[in-house]
Amino acid sequence: MGSLAVENLTARYGRKVALHGLDLEVADGEFFVILGPSGAGKTTTLKSVAGLVDSVSGEVRIAGRDVTRVEPYDRRVAMAFESYALYPQKTVEQNLASPLRSGRAGRFTAAEQAERIAAVTRTLGIDHLLQRFPRELSNGQRQRTALGRVLVRPAEVYLLDEPLSHLDAKLRAAMRAELKQLGEMSRTTTLYVTHDYQEALALGDRVGVLRDGRLVQVGAPGDVWDEPVDTFVARMFGQPEINLFDAAVERGVARWAGVTVGVPEGSPDAVRLGIRPRDLALVTGAVPADRLVLRGRVTLAERLGRLVELSVDVSGESVIAVTADQRVREGEAVTLAVDWARVHVFGPGEDSARIGAARKVSDEVAAGGSR
C-alpha cells in the first residue's frame, strides 16, 4: 500500500484544459472520493494518475515515488473503468486471472493465481460463477467481476471510475455497502470518482468536490455537508436540492418571507439564505422557541415511499421540505421549523461563497421590521 500525492496537475485534450493545476493528497489506506458533475474532470484525474493521459504537467507520486514519467504498467495502480471491460469470450475465472498473467503484474504460479482468485471471489460473493461467461451474468454479477479484476491484482492504489453508475438504485445501494466493507477490509489506498452524493457520503473517508478541473472543497463527508464552501457545493449534496433564497440585509439583519434572520458580522447588503429540505421539521404542536419558524400553505405534496416532499408557499416564496408525515395534504396550512445553525448564509449571486450560519435576533429587532 502507499499514499498518493498529486501536485499542480494540468491535463489537456488538444486546446481544452481538463485539469487546472490540481493538488491532492490521499493518505496511505484512505478511501478518497471525488464528487462532481459530468465534465468536471473526474475521469481525467484517474487517467492522469494511471498514466493514461499524455498531455499532462505537474507531478504524481505513489508511496513517495515520482511516477509522473513512469509507464502505466509500472505504476502499481489498478483501475476499474465505468464500463465493465470484461472479455466476452472468457469465463469469470479467466477474466480474473488475466491481470495476474501479465508479465508486468509479476510472475504468479498457478497455485498463487488460484489462491488470489478464490480470496477475491469469496469476498465478492461470485465464487459460484467462475465458469460462467459475462453474457450469462446479471449486471450486478458483471460489476462484481469487474471489481474483482481490480482487487485481484497487487496494487498500491485502486482507481475506481463510477463503478456503480450502470446499476439500478436498489443494487447500487447494496453494492455501496459491499464497497464500504471491502475498503475497510483491504485498506488499500483508493481514489473513487462519482457524480452521486450518496456514494460520496457513504464511502469516503474524505470527499473532494471537483468543478471545471479544480477542487473547490476537500474535507470529511460530514464537514462538507455541514459547511459547504459555496452554493455550488451545497447544491451537489442532497436531493431535493438545498433551498436558496435572496434576502436584503440591513444592520446585520436579513428580512425574508416575513421572517427576520441575523447574519454574520461583515455580511454584504444582499445575501442568499440556504436551508436543506431535510433540515425543515413539520411542527404539529407547540412551536419551538429556539428555531426559525416558517408558516405557509402546501401547494404540492409528492409521496415518495415513506417520505413526502412538500412545496410550501411562505409569503410568496416556494420552500421545499421533506417529512415522514403521510397525513399532509395539498392546501393545508403548515408550520416548519429549522435549527438556526442549519440556516446557511451565502454571498449574493450564483455560486457565491458561504459566509457562515444564521442566528436568532431579539424580539425587539425582529419587531422593528414590521413597523
Tell me the domain boundaries of the chain: 4-235, 240-368
Query: Which residue ranges of the chain lie beneath pLDDT 70?
Result: 1, 102-107, 182-185, 363-371
* pLDDT of res. 258: 87
pLDDT at 80: 83
Task: Write down the pLDDT at residue 287.
Answer: 78
Give me the pLDDT at residue 143, please: 83
Model pLDDT, residue 1 = 62
Identify which of 150, 149, 159, 156 has the alpha carbon closest to the alpha carbon of residue 53: 159
Q: Which three cell numbers stand for residue 250?
A: 440591513
Distance (Å, whole) CA 219 – CA 208? 7
CATH number of 240-368: 2.40.50.100
The Cα-based distances of 34 to 92, 109, 142, 147 in angstroms read 30, 37, 24, 18
Strand partners, 14: none
CATH topology of domain 4-235: Rossmann fold (3.40.50)
What pLDDT does residue 371 have? Answer: 42
Are residues 334 and 280 in contact, defined by beta-carbon separation less than 8 angstroms?
no
Q: What pLDDT is attached to residue 51?
A: 92
